[in-house]
Amino acid sequence: MYTTATTIKHGNHTPRLARSNGLIPQPWHACMHARTWRLTSRVYISKGNRARFTHTATRSTQYSTSSAVTRTKGTYVVDRSKRLVEMEMPRVSEETVAAVVPIAVYWAYAGVHTALGQSRLMDKYRLNTKDEEDRKNMVSKRAVILNVLMQHLMQLAALAVLAMVTGGRGATAKAAGGSPAAVYLTAAARIAVAVLVFDAYRYAWHRLAHINRFIYRHLHSWHHRIVVPYAFGAIYGHPIEVLIADTAGASLAVLVTGLSPSSPRATAVFLTLCTVKAIDNHCGVCLLPRRLQSVWNGAAYHGVHHMPRGVRYNFSDLFFVTWDHVFGTHMPYAVEERPGGDGLVLKPLPPPKATN
């Protein structure tokens, strides 16, 4: 049921249901279980014998006995004979949503961090001063923005190819033969597995990019031109490394877990989580509680990696820092209050010596 400004009510006459092959009389009891339509707005523009309502008509449970109703998808028109007609309108596919939402979230979330960074609200949580951010970084913010825009175009192209490879729309609860709750639980489980797969992939690639001098010099060193990280530079890097580390890694996680064929919306959630986490790790603001810093990645942990002393440690790149603990690449650190109380200071500590 929907709130209506204009409702066509039934009367004592036989209602008629319009179909593509013409008007077909229907008895009232046959129409009671069918879908009918109410209008959601009083605002309309009269033109000739037709009045186009500015809002989309929506479903109800009654038919007008004096009107003919036809259903496709989109916007509806009512003429002076009280005929309610639905006009065909294009719909945005779920695959398009899965491609566009993470990109929109990237700029929106990075914009929020940037806006907060301009105020004094977050000064006491900042790991670096604005002067250090401008003085130490070796690439301009204009170049960073252009690089990230190019990456997003590559991301759109990759998701278009992925949609063609997997084919078909996401399965709905009805098509899958399960309840909505079961479908949501399945999607949540697949997203969790995709996070683990992608996180492990990113750790492996990140460590290789530092061990191999050729890869570091020609590819990964681009990302380390940003010595003092900031929000909208989170994914700045060489285009080829972006294809290997981000596009290929995320595509692998999606394909392995079956996210894209099962639900493009779940794919959008997975990519959005990765986007938000990448920005959190590069925002330069330490908000993560200490009790979580031993498990969960954050700006302080990843900030150590961007420092000259920590460049060969803390390769965990997105969600979990467990990979560094398991493979012996963890560098501890301390977060102390900056002298004068204007922010925080990040101090790497000597890594623990390996025991035989």
Question: Cβ of 217: how many Cβ atoms within 10 Å?
Answer: 9
- Per-residue confidence (pLDDT) for residue 221, from 0 to 100: 94
- Per-residue confidence (pLDDT) for residue 120, from 0 to 100: 78
Contact between residue 107 and residue 232 where contact means Cβ atoms under 8 Å apart: yes
Residues 6+ apart with CB under 8 A from 198: 249, 250, 252, 253, 274, 318
- Per-residue confidence (pLDDT) for residue 320, from 0 to 100: 94
Distance CA 270, CA 250 (A): 9
Distance CA 173, CA 59 (A): 21
Distance CA 216, CA 164 (A): 33
- Per-residue confidence (pLDDT) for residue 150, from 0 to 100: 92
Determine phi and psi for 44, rounding to 5 degrees: -150, 165
Q: What is the DSSP string of 247-301?
A: IHHHHHHHHHHTHHHH-HHHHHHHHHHHHHHHHHHHS-B--S-GGGTTTB--HHH
Kind plus residue range of the DSSP H or E element containing 87: strand 84-88
- Per-residue confidence (pLDDT) for residue 59, from 0 to 100: 42
Question: Cβ of 106: how many Cβ atoms within 10 Å?
Answer: 25
Residues 6+ apart with CB under 8 A from 228: 128, 132, 133, 136, 137, 284, 306
Residues of the chain below pLDDT 50: 1-89, 169-176, 355-356
Helix (H, G, I), strand (E, B) or coil at 302: helix
* Best CA proximity match to 275, nearest among 161, 80, 109, 70: 109
Distance CA 125, CA 121 (A): 9
What is the chain's mean pLDDT, rounded? 74
pTM of the complete model beyond 0.75: no
